[in-house]
Amino acid sequence: MSDDPTPVAPTTVTWKPAGPLIVQGPATFFDNEGTALTPPPAKIPGQIKLCGCGRSHTKPFCDGSHKC
């Protein structure tokens, strides 16, 4: 437990039907073996998009293929 009294906004996940899950806030992503994954550079600071359509070539992250 942290002694830092600075409030931290909760991480949120927003699902876009037929598109990505948008993670806003601090998060660490791991593969099935527990290895930390490096997300691609965020277009919006603090926001990572996870593929929800299954078409991404960079799963689990969205690469924009859902737009095709």
Binding site for ligand FES (CB under 6 A): 19-20, 51-53, 55-56, 62-66
Nearer Cβ to ligand FES (25/67): 67
- Min dist. Cβ of residue 2 to ligand FES (A): 33
Q: Which is nearer to ligand FES, 23 or 62 (CB)?
A: 62
Cβ neighbours of residue 67 under 8 Å, at least 6 residues apart?
none
Min. distance of Cβ 10 from ligand FES in angstroms? 23
